[in-house]
Amino acid sequence: MPHDDHVMLESRDLAKTYYSTEPPTQVINGVDLIVRKGEFLVVMGASGSGKSSLLYSISGMDRPTSGTVFLEGRDLTSLSDVEMSRVRLTKMGFIFQQAHFLSNLNIRDNILLPAFKAAPKEKDAAVARVDAIMERFGIAHIKQHGITQVSGGQLQRASLCRALACEPSILFADEPTGALNSSMSTEVMEALTEVHSDGTTLVMVTHAPACAARADRVIYLRDGRLVDSRQLGRWSKEQSTQREDDLLAWLRKLGF
Ligand SMILES: Nc1ncnc2c1ncn2[C@@H]1O[C@H](COP(=O)(O)OP(=O)(O)OP(=O)(O)O)[C@@H](O)[C@H]1O
């Protein structure tokens, strides 16, 4: 099938079974998904429905058991581990619930690490880029701080800066606000909304309807199957309450 230039990521008949359990657990079951360039897609579903497993399988953090994943038309499932690592480093950004920063490095050096690894000969350019990103997301003043000297919201904004340091085509976020209080959560969602407005494609797993309401589209998983999808269109602050109410009504119908 020829590649459609508007498609960033596509999975076809994706399945994932964990064989470490007895009996093996099939957690993703025949997921066909298309993420368009510039789209902000949210994955929702009950706990254990397979959201993180889907995110890991489509982002090359884990290998699906069967099916295919294409990033801008390139079959990721056929890549070697080394090739896949390179794609993750240069084309993808990741944010998790916890920051996973090194405690012996300050915030800025943590953010710089992947950029230095991706292009060791272009360190000056990486420093300039990272300084600009930190300025933009309001954390330039904590550059030299250790990771225990900043708030949870600042640390997640630092995670976002690290994820953006290599200018990824697509950003994957797994419960990025899961460990934050509501004001810090809003802070991080504001930053993600900005990243999306810049044109970055975003795929985010969340349990929080208020965070999901910022997406262009929400998909719903049940027992590893994609059972429904809701198009929300572009987020705007004025319509945020209405969007959240609509989304909640849809989620309740699905048994969320
Ligand atoms: N490495 C693993 N080995 C075995 N089983 C796993 C593994 N990772 C996840 N599972 C199981 O797969 C199922 C789906 O897990 P997953 O984390 O993808 O769901 P989720 O929807 O993201 O859940 P939550 O919302 O609680 O984070 C769960 O039953 C989980 O226990």
Task: Please check whether residue 177 is in contact with residue 149, taking contact to mean a CB–CB distance below 8 angstroms.
Answer: no
Q: What is the pLDDT of residue 2?
A: 67
Q: Which helix (H) or strand (E) holds 41?
A: strand 40-45
- Sheet harboring 25-36: ordered strands across? 25-36, 7-18, 66-71, 74-75
Determine the 3-state secondary structure of 28 from DSSP.
Answer: strand
Per-residue pLDDT tens over the stretch 212-227:
999 999 999 999 999 9
pLDDT above 70: residue 41: yes
Protein residue closest via CA to atom 4 of ligand 1: 18
As for the ipTM of the complex, it is 0.97
By most ligand atoms within 8 Å of CB, the mutation choice from 18, 61, 62 for ligand 1 is 18
Ligand 1 lined by 224 (C-beta under 6 Å): no
Residue of 20, 44, 49, 226 with the most ligand 1 atoms within 8 Å of its CB, for mutation: 49
CA–CA distance from 208 to each of 50, 149, 175 (Å)?
16, 27, 9
Q: What spacing in Å lies between the alpha carbon of 104 and ligand 1's midpoint? A: 31
pLDDT given for residue 1 in this prediction: 66
CA of 180 to the centre of ligand 1 (A): 21
Instruction: Using DSSP bridges, classify how beta strands 66-71 and 7-18 pair: parallel, antiparallel or unpaired.
Output: antiparallel
Ligand 1 pocket residue status of 80, Cβ below 6 Å: no
- Residue 24 near residue 192 (C-beta atoms within 8 A): no
**3-state DSSP assignment of residue 75:** strand
Average pLDDT for the chain: 95
C-alpha of residue 144 to centroid of ligand 1, in Å: 37
Average pLDDT over residues 50-65: 97
The pLDDT assigned to 5 comes to: 86
The reply to whether ligand 1 has any atom less than 6 angstroms from the CB of 103 is no
Q: Where are the domains of the chain?
A: 7-253
Answer whether 43 contacts ligand 1 (Cβ < 6 A). no
- Name the CATH topology of 7-253: Rossmann fold (3.40.50)
Whose Cα sits closest to atom 27 in ligand 1?
Answer: 47
Q: Of all residues in the chain, what percent carry a pLDDT higher than 90?
A: 94
Q: What is the pLDDT of residues 145-199, one digit of tens each?
A: 999 999 999 999 999 999 999 999 999 999 999 999 999 899 999 999 999 999 9
Residue 3 has pLDDT above 90, yes or no: no
Tens digits of per-residue pLDDT, 99-138? 899 999 999 999 999 999 999 999 999 999 999 999 999 9
Tokens of 166: 């290599």
Whether pTM > 0.90 for this model: the answer is yes
- The Å distance, Cα 53 to ligand 1 centre, comes to 6
Instruction: Determine the pLDDT at residue 110.
Output: 97
